[in-house]
Structures are given as C-alpha cells and as structure tokens.
Amino acid sequence: MSKKKNISQFRNIGIMAHIDAGKTTVTERILYYTGKSYKIGEVHDGEAVMDWMQDEQDRGITITSAVTTCEWNKSLIQIIDTPGHVDFTVEVERALRVLDGAIGVFCAVGGVEPQSETVWRQADRYSVPRMAFVNKMDRTGANFFDAVNSIKEKLGANPVILQLPMGAEDHFSGVIDLINMKQITWDDETKGAEYSKDDISPEYEKIAYQYRETLLEAISEVNDEIMEKYLSEEDIAIEEIIKAIRAATILRQIVPVFCGSALKNKGIQPLLDGIELYLPSPLDIPPIKGIHPDSGEELEFLPQKGGPLAALIFKVSMIEGRKLSFARIYSGKIEAGSDVFNPLLKKKEKLSRILKMHANKRERLKEASAGDIIGIVGLKDSGTGDTLCSQDNPVFLEKMEYEDPVISIAIEPKTHVDQEKLDSVLEKFTIEDPTLTVRKDDETGQTILSGMGELHLEIIISRMLKEFKTNVNVGNPQVVYREVLTCRAKGQAVFEREISGKMHFAGVNIQLKPLNRGDGITFKSEAGDDQIPEQYIPAIEKGIRESLEGGFLKGYPLVDVGIVIEGGGFDERSSELAFSVCASMACKDALENTTLALLEPIMAVEVFVPDAYMGDAISDLNARGGKVESINPKVGIQIVKAVVPLSKMFGYSTALRSASQGRGTFTMQFSRFDKV
C-alpha cells in the first residue's frame, strides 16, 4: 500500500445486485486490474477471492459481505461485495449503512430482477448515490436498452447512458465512450489488462452522436450552466460534463450507466474511472449525525482525522474462533493497542489489532482514521450496530434496524459430543448474524432456530457441519396450542391421607369460568375463614395453576380461566400440602365435567407483491385458511395484510417466491390465539 491518501481520494463503495448478475465476477476483475490479485478468481470454479467461505464456493453465491481495498489512479477504493439472495438482505443493509456510494450490477438479459429491486430500495433509504453497470453483454439474449429501460421503469431511477455497447451476444466487442467520443476495445491475449481507445467506427457514428445528444440533454435538465450552453448551442468542455455528472450523481438526480462483460474481461477499467470521477468521497456526503447519550443533543461529525472519534461496527465475524469486528470510521482516528469507549455498554474496550481487509486476507495497521473501513481484533463485548467513540466525546450513531425472523426450525444434537459443542456454536452464529435467533422451547424441549428464510437456515446448518463439525437433526418446530373452557364448571374434592407417618386433611369446592381471549388466569376466594383459613389460600392457588398448566384435553396449557374458591373444609390435620393437592384434584374434577376447545396461534402476515402476482398470492393465502384484512397499493407493488394460522405457514417463503417469480416478500408476527 502506498503512502496514506487524502480523504478526498477515498471511495467507499458497495457492489449490489440480484443473485447471479455477476457482482462477485465484477469485483474479481477490479482486484485483478488494480493489481490486488495476480490471477483472476472465478465464481464458477469456486476460486473467487471474495467468496472465501466453503458454502459460498460450493454454491457459487455470496453469503457474507466481504471487504477489500485497492488503488486506481489517485484513488483508494474500499469495496464491500454484498450478497444478492433475499435471505441475506441484512448483509446488504449493514453494508449500505456505512457506504458512500454503490454500483448496481444488472444482467443485460434479465435487467432489473427482484432482489435488485429490494437492495435498490434499501439504498434509497440510506440515500446512497449510485452508478449502474449492465453486465453480461456477451450472453445470448443480451439487450442493453431493455436493461436501461427496466432501471427507469422498475426502480423509478433516472439512468443516464455514458457508454454504448458495440454489438451484443457473440458480437459484443467493446464500448463507445460518449463523453470522450472514443471506442474502447480490449485485448484478449492479456485477459483485458490492455485496451485501446480509437476513433468511433463509421457504423457506430450515427447512434453515438444521437446518444451523446441525449446525454447532454439529460445533464442540462439537472445543471443550469450546462442548460444555458446547451440551449445556445455553445461547445461544452469534457471537464464541465464530468463535473456536472459528478454533482448530479452525488445528489442522486441521475444514475450514470456503464456496460460490459466482466467474465469476458471487457468494461472494467472505464467503470473504475467512473468510480473515481462520479462517486462521492467521504467529504462529498453530509456529515454523520449522532445523539449525545446523556443530553440527547444531536451532534454532527465531519470526516476529519483531528476530530473526535466516531466509528460504527457494521458487522462481526467469528473467524477461526476469534471475533473480528468490521468498523467504518467517520471521524477522528484510532491506534492499535489503544482504548475506545462503547457508550451503549458504558465501558472501555481495547483494540489489540487494526487490520486493512482484503477479503479473508489482512494487513496490520498502526492506526486508521476518518474514511477508513477496517477490521478490529480485541473487542470483547461490542456488537453489530454499536458505536465506538472517546469517553470525553460520547455519541450514539444511529442503530441499525433489522426485520424479525420469519421462519423457524427445530434442531437437536445427534450425539453427546455434539450436545457439548452446540451451545457455543449457536452463540458464535448469533454474534455474527443479528437476524438469527435461538431459543429453547420449555414446552417441547426443542432448540428453535429462527431466520430470514429457508436458505438462510439451510446454510447455518451446513456451516455447523462443515466449519464446526457439529451434527444436528432438523425438524419442523411443533406449533404450541392452548386449551380453553367453553362453559362454566364446578368441581370438588376431599383429601385425607397419611404421608410420612402423619395424617393430612383438606376439602375444596371450586368453580372455573371461561374468560375473554387474552384475559389470562384470574383467582379469587369466596370461602370464609370458617371453611378455609387465610394461610392456606396461596397453596390452593398454586395447586390449581399448576394443574391448569398441564392441560386436560391434549396436554397444552389452559388459558383465559377465572378460578373461584366457593368453599371447603379443614381440621387440625390440615396442611399446605393437603390443600395444594386437594385443589388440584378439585380442578381435575371440574375439567371432567365441562367441554374444552383448542386454540391455535394466528399470525399477522404482511405480503409485498408486484401487481401482476397479487391474484396468485391472495389465492394461496386463502388456501392456507388465511383471512385477507386489507390491500394497500404502492408504486408497482401491493401490500396484502392477512391473518393466517401458524400451522399453515410452513414452507410459505418458498411458495410465495414461486407464485411471484421471486419478487414477493413477506413479514410475519404473532397476532393472537384463536379456536382451531
């Protein structure tokens, strides 16, 4: 790494797209042409530098965001390569939170695909300036203009074409640069490392001039100076065009569009030029805001090395059993071996090492400062979304919000050895991934793992086996029902028995009545002191509550019951034990004299589905016994709210994806219990 760059030369960018649009291949080429890799790693060979996890190589998809650093011309580019599968959108969310700019990679055949819509909207939420790269121009069915059109229609963006492809499919040979009016072709012998810029061939001249005119028109609409010159037909200098495109990109008024074929090594160097010319440095975006933990005052942090420290941990990885935290420094600097303050935990943490990341390889640094994205070793308790600052200038940077998990599986260890490992392995996964939750179900004794989708959980199980050598059996979690009374019931019992050489006696008469849904269990005694002395009432309540907990119909807990003690009997042989057992017997007697019903958990489900697939989505919900409560239209999408029994929701994420060609998403949370 050469000497430290000025912060104006930093480009902190993410590469985002739908699964299989070629994000990781684009990143691999960037690393090759900037000299970070000595050979090109291919996803389909399982050799991509950025997909270093075993599961990523086996499946040919990106699961975790990888961080890397490279240099191009005068710029230092820090890249986060993010996953494209819907189950891992939290990884994209975490990356977008700390990026200054992004490149959306689109397939020239598929255009805007479902997951690229999701990540694009996430980038909108964080106001991230973007460029677009239409990849796979060499593929059969590639259509550059259709892809650009879908960016406009499906994403509501304002794409501005800066390059035209020369040919398509097998005839794709290079690109035409509309700013410098040159054609660029790549040398296959050097794997695209060498390329030439020539005058535009006669067959492309007409379309090139036509689209340059469109380009100037688009920029003039967002830039008054260009507008004046354009209308008065003055010459506009190339430097002026570049400056205007940069300003409009940073303000998110336009999305510059590039094209190429990463796999065929064409189009990457001009894309790197575009990153340097058009995407913002940390100085070009609004300063990060935070809240003072004590006064609640809003604070702003400028990206300066000499300012107070403000850094955000956006990801935690457990690598070879050690905790590696990824952080973006917004202001100030940190040094290896120094202390930092975590205002959430109100404690100091020591940074034993600071690392410049290159996928899963790393380089040790003595210090890092504003603008850097780094790995930190040594933080014991700080987690994803936590702020690191100095004790003298404490601040909370905005926390990250996560969707709740939507799907669960039950797991149990196969052997005693696996049992010993399981808890620590699950703890590592939950530290890494805030969207994964683990709980023990006291009622069924199962360990329940909840995540963002079936693939998400499948990969967790696969990683347990491959990385941690932990075997588990996997099953559907049992749906836990409840039991309720359908009418009033009376019961009575007399307990008279010798226990451990001593006689015990008690008599209890009770009434149980059904209550409204959600009222819980109420208890009152109408028995006078002459029937049951005050000191025995708590023992009676305990006996009845324990009896209700065990259920009667199918062994599920009884809920929404009013308990009334109507009378009883006692003498000198009475004891707390006698009254507790007698109350339980009276409760059982009452339940035998009444009818019970089962309640099942009902979930509130919110389905986001494009207009074209709404009919299929609604009929699927109806088939699952769901009731649609409302349908709200948004731009190009319908939001369907429904209530559905939990028992019918297993496998729903897969069903929704196939019903909506992968474009539907949903959230689900517990609503209430209702009669089966």
Spatial strand order of the sheet with 396-397 comes to: 298-301, 288-291, 396-397
**CB 341, CB 389: distance < 8 Å:** yes
**Residue 442 is which amino acid?**
D
Residue with the bigger pLDDT between 474 and 255: it is: 255
In whole angstroms, give the CA distance from residue 340 to residue 310.
10
Mean pLDDT: which of 31-35, 79-83, 371-375, 584-588 is highest? Answer: 584-588
pLDDT (average), residues 277-290: 94
Output the pLDDT for position 85: 41
For residue 190, the tally of other CB atoms under 10 A from its CB is 10
What SS3 state is found at 96? helix
For residue 210, the tally of other CB atoms under 10 A from its CB is 12
Output the pLDDT for position 4: 66
Output the pLDDT for position 53: 39
Beta strand ranges found along 136-181 (DSSP E): 159-161, 163-166, 174-177
Beta bridge partners of 101: 13
Residue with the bigger pLDDT between 404 and 102: it is: 102
Mean pLDDT of the chain: 85
What SS3 state is found at 132? strand
φ, ψ for residue 469 (rounded to 5)? 50, 40
DSSP 73: T
φ, ψ for residue 383 (rounded to 5)? -125, -175
What SS3 state is found at 174? strand
Task: Report pLDDT digits (tens) over 73-103.
Answer: 999 999 876 654 444 455 566 677 788 999 9
pLDDT (average), residues 24-29: 83
User: Taking Cα atoms as reference points, which of 660, 661, 649, 647 lies closest to residue 621?
Assistant: 649
For residue 260, the tally of other CB atoms under 10 A from its CB is 31
What torsion do the CA atoms of 201, 207, 213, 215 make, to the nearest 10 degrees? -90
Output the pLDDT for position 109: 87
Q: Give Cα separations from 447 to 410, 454, 491, 670 (angstroms).
A: 6, 17, 38, 19
**CB 102, CB 96: distance < 8 Å:** yes
Output the pLDDT for position 48: 43
Range name among 368-372, 408-412, 470-474 with the lowest pLDDT average: 408-412
Output the pLDDT for position 652: 85
pLDDT (average), residues 187-205: 94
| pTM (global) more than 0.75 | no
Q: Give Cα separations from 30 to 25, 163, 477, 539, 638 (angstroms).
A: 9, 18, 45, 73, 39
Residue with the bigger pLDDT between 14 and 92: it is: 14
The pLDDT of residue 195 is above 70: yes
The pLDDT of residue 540 is above 50: yes
Q: Is 294 exposed, middle or buried (0-12, 13-18, 19+ CB in 10 A)?
A: exposed
Range name among 54-68, 133-147, 286-300, 359-373 with the lowest pLDDT average: 54-68
The pLDDT of residue 163 is above 50: yes
Range name among 59-68, 93-102, 103-112, 250-259 with the lowest pLDDT average: 59-68
What SS3 state is found at 637? strand
Using a pLDDT cut of 90, give the percent of the chain over it. 52
Q: How confident is the model at residue 66 (pLDDT cuts 50, 70, 90)?
A: low
Range name among 94-98, 134-138, 385-389, 553-557 with the lowest pLDDT average: 94-98
Output the pLDDT for position 94: 66
What torsion do the CA atoms of 357, 359, 363, 367 make, to the nearest 10 degrees? 0
Q: Give Cα separations from 98 to 79, 163, 208, 474 (angstroms).
A: 11, 29, 37, 36
Q: Who contacts 316 (Cβ-Cβ below 8 Å, separation ≥6)?
A: 323, 324, 325, 326, 383, 384, 431, 432
Task: Report pLDDT digits (tens) over 205-226.
Answer: 999 999 999 999 999 999 999 9
The pLDDT of residue 283 is above 60: yes
Output the pLDDT for position 405: 65
In whole angstroms, give the CA distance from residue 202 to residue 199.
9
In whole angstroms, give the CA distance from residue 396 to residue 431.
20
The pLDDT of residue 41 is above 60: no
Task: Report pLDDT digits (tens) over 476-506.
Answer: 766 778 899 999 999 999 999 998 889 999 9
Output the pLDDT for position 593: 87
The pLDDT of residue 2 is above 80: no
Q: How confident is the model at residue 30 (pLDDT cuts 50, 70, 90)?
A: confident
Output the pLDDT for position 18: 66
Residue with the bigger pLDDT between 639 and 310: it is: 310
The pLDDT of residue 647 is above 90: no
The pLDDT of residue 448 is above 70: yes
